[in-house]
Amino acid sequence: MNKGQILVVDDEAAQRDILRTILTAEGYGVETARTAAEALEKGGHQQFDLILTDLKMPGADGLTLVRDLSRAEPPALVIIMTGHGSQDTAEQAMKQGAFDYLIKPLERGDLLRIVSRAFDRIRLIEENRLLRRQLEERYRVEGIVGSHYRIQEVFDKLHRVSNSNSTVLITGESGTGKELIARAIHRHSLRKDRPFVAVSCAAIPENLIESELFGHEKGAFTGAVDRHQGLFEAADKSTLLLDEIGELSVNMQAKVLRTLQEREVRRVGGRESIKIDVRIIAATNKNLEEEVVRGSFREDLFYRLNVVIIALPPLRERSTDIPQLAEYFIARACAEAGRPPMPVTTEAMRLLLTYHWPGNVRQLEAVLQRAVLLSDGHKVDYTDLPIEVRFSTLPPREPQASPGAAGDYRFLLPAEGIQLEEVERSFILQAMELSGWVIAKAAKLLGLSYRTLQYRLEKFQIRREHIEETGASKADAVEAEGGPRTS
Ligand SMILES: Nc1ncnc2c1ncn2[C@@H]1O[C@H](COP(=O)(O)OP(=O)(O)OP(=O)(O)O)[C@@H](O)[C@H]1O
Ligand SMILES: [Mg+2]
């Protein structure tokens, strides 16, 4: 039985032959190559588990080969063969990702031991990969991306509550995916064939919300020309998402609580109660416990909702999911634009990974959608990212920090450098825009005195009409399209 595929790379024919003989006798499949280039070419056609390569060869050396191969997906395991006296290079190769090295002349016993150890490692990696895939399969929820343990916990809870009728409270900052989870719960429940109903308690004016939720009878109030079915009734035998429930007035909270307790609604101006069977999911980006303490959220309603709580972590606390989310959003944006998916450069990925994402997944999605449009069509590079992602890597510790606390920011200098004046100019422009061209306000945002800012406005010749005249820079244009912004 073939124990695995090995590629032997050496410019000496005798060396290749001897290795082929020994390894084939042990049950490994062996291919050979004379140069690094030939090795890469063979690797492109056929998958090798292990590569045994000489370090010094004509043309590209073994070191470059090690680097290229250990970057491949899946990465190949590489064992270096090197002459006496070149241990240094061998150590260097290990740093580049080589698995181990052998000193020439090769000793059969050593060779087989190291090869066998390499295959133990390969099996382990494969097992891990399989386990991870099984885990991801088990916890996968269609259209929701994430492998971080906190998202896996969310998926786990989602699967456990979906089939019950239990009320669910979803909390999390803006853009963390609360509505996405609510819809997924509905989709995985027995109610899935009925339409999901969502209402944003923040979007409806106070005087309309009661009739929106509970409906009204004809003539219940001026303008009530017809009988109107409320959203609770519309969601009968289905799921109702009360989004941004923290925005509900205390008065409406009492009415919602009664509905949850009695499982019936009464239309505005109506006398009869109508039985309903609705599964309630509530979502909020507020801390309801704090709202209870403050007296703006009813404690009894809070306990009624707080049966199962799904807390979505902010994106910055699960940044290991960013590469996966980025790939997903880019693929989607590319598909919409009718293009093949494109990779993210290392530099751009580093920025995506270090940015603090105040707008969470929604902001990441928006940033990448734009990046795809701005890109050269082959890759998403750091120049395609908006300025706040490029230059700010840490949020101020306090969102409303006092002026001068800007020292809490850390700016990442890209390896190829920046034009400091351009950056300064861009920040000043943004501050002026943000503060409606009031110099005193902009100065506060920048931690500058009025006079210093005035001086710089002159130095950079920044005037209001300037923007309209010249058009904003590329990064500014992205900003202006209204991406979520740090306040
Ligand atoms: N894990 C995820 N995988 C894929 N897309 C996601 C994920 N989380 C969020 N999104 C996407 O991010 C956007 C925001 O999600 P959603 O509307 O559910 O957030 P939200 O928490 O309800 O935000 P808000 O509080 O502002 O209403 C949506 O386009 C959603 O599809
Ligand atoms: Mg929402």
What's this model's pTM, rounded to 2 decimal places? Answer: 0.61
Q: Closest ligand to 242 CA?
A: 2
- Establish whether residue 359 lines the binding site of ligand 1, counting it when its CB lies within 6 angstroms of any ligand atom: no
* Atom of ligand 1 minimally distant from the CA of 172: 21
pLDDT of amino acid 476: 37
CA pair distance 171, 257, nearest whole angstrom: 19
Mean pLDDT, 10 residues at a time, the chain of 487 residues: 89 94 95 90 85 82 76 78 80 84 91 94 83 65 87 92 94 96 94 94 87 90 85 95 95 94 92 94 95 95 94 94 94 87 91 92 96 91 90 50 42 70 84 84 89 90 60 35 35
361 CA to centre of ligand 1 in angstroms: 6
pLDDT of amino acid 245: 96
pLDDT of amino acid 401: 40
Burial class (CB in 10 A: 0-12, 13-18, 19+), 70: middle
Q: Closest ligand to 179 CA?
A: 1
172 CA to centre of ligand 2 in angstroms: 10
336 CA to centre of ligand 2 in angstroms: 23
Long-range contacts of 350-353 (CB under 8 A, 24+ apart): 350/412, 351/382, 351/385, 351/389, 351/390, 351/393, 351/412, 352/322, 352/323, 352/326, 352/385, 352/389, 353/319, 353/322, 353/323
CA pair distance 364, 484, nearest whole angstrom: 9
Q: Closest ligand to 318 CA?
A: 1
Helix (H) or strand (E) holding 207: helix 206-214
pLDDT of amino acid 470: 38
- Establish whether residue 281 lines the binding site of ligand 1, counting it when its CB lies within 6 angstroms of any ligand atom: no
pLDDT of amino acid 25: 95
* Atom of ligand 1 minimally distant from the CA of 180: 18
* Atom of ligand 1 minimally distant from the CA of 321: 1
Cα distances (angstroms) measured from residue 207 to each of 235, 246, 247, 360: 21, 17, 14, 32
144 CA to centre of ligand 1 in angstroms: 9
- Establish whether residue 361 lines the binding site of ligand 1, counting it when its CB lies within 6 angstroms of any ligand atom: yes
Tokens found for residue 329: 């959003």
Residue 473: other Cβ atoms inside 10 A: 15
Ligand 1 pocket mutation pick from 168, 170, 179, 368 by most atoms within 8 angstroms of CB: 179
- Establish whether residue 174 lines the binding site of ligand 1, counting it when its CB lies within 6 angstroms of any ligand atom: yes
216 CA to centre of ligand 2 in angstroms: 27
pLDDT of amino acid 297: 96
Shortest-distance Cα residue to atom 30 of ligand 1: 177
pLDDT of amino acid 411: 60
pLDDT of amino acid 305: 94
361 CA to centre of ligand 2 in angstroms: 12
Strand-by-strand arrangement of the 50-54 sheet: 29-33, 5-9, 50-54, 77-82, 100-103
175 CA to centre of ligand 2 in angstroms: 7
Q: Closest ligand to 142 CA?
A: 1
231 CA to centre of ligand 2 in angstroms: 17
Strands (E), 204-352: 215-216, 228-229, 239-243, 264-265, 274-275, 279-284, 308-311
Tokens found for residue 380: 């998403």
* Atom of ligand 1 minimally distant from the CA of 312: 21
